[in-house]
Amino acid sequence: TESPLDLGDRRLGLTIDDSDPRRFVMYVDNEEIPLIQEFLYYKSMVGDNSKDYKRASGAYIFRPDGSPIPVCDNQKKPQRVSGPVVQEIHRECNEWVSQVIRLYNGDDNIEFEWLVGPIPNDDKIGKEVISRFRIPFYKNNQTFYTDSNGREMLKRILNYRPSFTLRENVENVTGNYYPITSRISLTDQQTRFSVLNDRSQGGSSLQDGEIELMVHRRIFVDDAFGVDEALNETAFGVGLVARGHHYLTYGPVDKLFEVERLLAQRKLIRPQYFFTKKHSVVSYKDLK
């Protein structure tokens, strides 16, 4: 169906804004929280690598050229699929970016399955695609937490280093990017807002209430740090396609630690699937 575009219920769920598919109202334990989720891309810096400020973005470094540019056509209407096991909202942003937002019955997180690529190469501008989640008016005091290889959560403060005084940060975006191997979290001391990922990604919280994770990149210039190749991987004659999951959790701080720990184990160490074909159709009784 096309409407109403909602998932779940008031215990955990969300509703998409009719006029703008980037905007949601998220429901958690009867509380209403505004949420914005969108895809954007940073243009990769192109340079001749002769000076630090002329370095190109590449395999070793992420160096954006300006602010991120939204990629979604917000006129395209999302579609809703609903049934007894799962409810989904399918959203196609453009030819190379799409997403399924999903809530399984009784689950404690909202899943965002992104699919990005092949990133076009017609304009020869490198593109570094991010998924950005934002809760307006959330006060995390320029502080966020990222994990260290799935273990301890480390405190990160915008434009700050614990071991030396950062006088001037000319790389305002990159200088605040950290490796996110399993999760990134914000807290206003009462609640916690986290996004868990299924693979290591770069990410940050550049403004209060905001989490961004880089999902895919395609670049046409080498950064001259050693690999001597542009980060321009292709298959079947076009750029690569990447598909993955982000799991969004929100709730009271004391409850969320447990939710996140169990969710991370369940999603990162998933059951293994083994298939056995039956050569002739049998009943359950015979099989048993």
Partner 1 sequence: EPKITPLRETMGMMQHHDAITGTEKQHVANDYARLLSEAMEECEEASCTILSGLAAGIETSADCKTCQLLNISQCEVSEHSEQFVLTLYNPLSRPVTEFVRLPIPSETAYSVVDPSGQRLTVQFVPLPSAVLRIPGRKSSATSELVFQADDLPPLGYKSYLITKEPSSSYLNRLRAERSAQSE
Site string for partner 1, 149-188 (x = CB under 8 A): ----------------------------------------
Under the criterion CB under 8 A, does residue 59 sit at the interface with partner 1? yes
Interacting residue with partner 1 among 84, 124, 162, 164 (CB under 8 A): 84
Stretch that binds partner 1, among 42-50, 65-73, 81-89, 132-140 (CB under 8 A): 81-89
* Spatial distance between the Cα atoms of 143 and 268, rounded to a whole number of angstroms: 26
Query: Which residue's CB is nearer to partner 1, number 136 or number 226?
Result: 226
Query: Which residue's CB is nearer to partner 1, number 43 or number 90?
Result: 90
Residue closest to 57 by CA, chosen among 156, 177, 181, 148: 177
Interacting residue with partner 1 among 30, 85, 168, 190 (CB under 8 A): 85
Rounded least distance, CB 101 to partner 1, Å: 11
* Spatial distance between the Cα atoms of 21 and 92, rounded to a whole number of angstroms: 10
The secondary structure of 67-134, three-state, reads: CCEECCCCCCCCEEEECCCEEEEEEECCCCEEEEEEEECCCCCEEEEEEECCCCCCCCCCEEEEEEEE
* Spatial distance between the Cα atoms of 287 and 279, rounded to a whole number of angstroms: 12
Site string for partner 1, 3-42 (x = CB under 8 A): ----------------------------------------
- Contact set for partner 1, span 201-260 (CB under 8 A): 225-229, 231, 233, 235-238, 241, 243
Amino acid code (one letter) for 105: N
Interacting residue with partner 1 among 122, 137, 162, 269 (CB under 8 A): 269
Rounded least distance, CB 137 to partner 1, Å: 32
Site string for partner 1, 104-143 (x = CB under 8 A): xx-x-------x--x-------------------------
- Assigned token pair, 133: 């989640």
DSSP element (H, E) containing 259: helix 253-268
Rounded least distance, CB 62 to partner 1, Å: 12
Cβ atoms of residues 194 and 184 within 8 Å: yes
Q: Could you tell me the strand order of the sheet in which 110-116 lies?
A: 79-82, 86-92, 97-104, 110-116, 242-252, 191-197, 183-187, 143-147, 153-157
Query: Which residues of the chain form contacts with partner 1 (CB under 8 A)?
Result: 59-60, 81, 83-86, 88, 90, 92, 98, 100, 104-105, 107, 115, 118, 225-229, 231, 233, 235-238, 241, 243, 265-266, 269-278, 281-282, 284-285, 287-288
